[in-house]
Amino acid sequence: GLINCLELSGWSPIVVNRWDPCLARYYRLAGVRRMLYWDDVMAPASEALAEAAVDRFGSFEELLAFEWEGVRVGRFAASTMLRQLRLGSLDLGSPQIRRQLGQAMANGMAAAEAARRIIRQVRPEVALFVDRGYTPHGELFDRCLKEGIDAITWYAAHRSNTLMFKRYTPNNQDEHPVSLS
C-alpha cells in the first residue's frame, strides 16, 4: 500500500533489501520495478579493522559512540547483537561477545560503505524505513540524514488499521518513533 501511495504521489520507489525470492516476487506484484540487494552493493567486511576498533572499546558507551565514515556503526552493531542474541546488555569482558561484536562491527562498516554507494547510485529524494535501528538499514538511515535526504519511518500504531509516520532530521535522529515532534 505504501509503495502504491508513493507511486500515486509521483515517486518511483526503489526497494533496498536482502535477497529473498518470496519478497522479490511480492514487490514485483506490488509494481516495484527496481530493487537493490544488500549482497550486490556490500563489499566484503574488513574484519581486521573491525576487530581493531573492538579492541579499543573499554565501555559500552565507547561502543555506542563509534562511527565509521560518519555513520554510527557502533550503535547499530550493538542493537543488532542485542536483538539477535536476545540479551539486555553486552558483556564486553566476554571473549565470545567480543568476537561476535567484531563480526557485527565488520558488517556495520561494510553497510556504511554500501549505504554511501546506494545513495550515489540511486540519488533518492526521500527514504522510507520500517526499522532504522539495526544493521544494515540503520547505516543507510544515518547516511541519508548526513546527505540531507528526508528519512521517514513507518510503524504499526496503537490502534487497529492505523500507521504512524515520523520524519527524521539530524536534530531528532535518536527520538523514538512514537515520540511527539
* pLDDT tens per residue, range 37-88: 999 999 988 889 999 999 999 999 999 999 998 999 999 999 999 999 999 9
In this model, does residue 181 exceed pLDDT 80? no
CA torsion 142-114-54-100 (nearest 10°) is 110
Calculate what percentage of the chain has a pLDDT beyond 90: 85
Q: How far is it, in rounded angstroms, from Cα 88 to Cα 116?
A: 31
* DSSP letter, residue 135: T
128-138 mean pLDDT:
94
Predicted TM-score (pTM) of the model is 0.93
Whether 78 contacts 102, CB under 8 Å: no
- In angstroms, the CA 73 to CA 64 distance is 8
pLDDT at 177: 87
Residue 174 clears pLDDT 80, i.e. is over it? yes
Q: What is the pLDDT of residue 44?
A: 86
Q: Which of 100, 99, 118 is nearest to 39 (CA)?
A: 118
In whole angstroms, what is the distance from residue 11 CA to residue 6 CA? Answer: 5
Q: In this structure, which amino acid lies at residue 131?
A: D
Residues 6-28 have a mean pLDDT of: 92
Residue entry with cell 536482502: 18
Residues in CB range of 117: below 8 A, 6 or more apart: 41
Mean pLDDT of the chain: 93
Grid cell, residue 104, equals: 557485527
Residue 153 has pLDDT above 80, yes or no: yes
* pLDDT of 120 higher than 90: yes
The predicted model gives 19-31 an average pLDDT of: 91
> Which residues are CB-contacts of 163 (< 8 A; sequence separation ≥ 6)?
154, 155, 156, 157
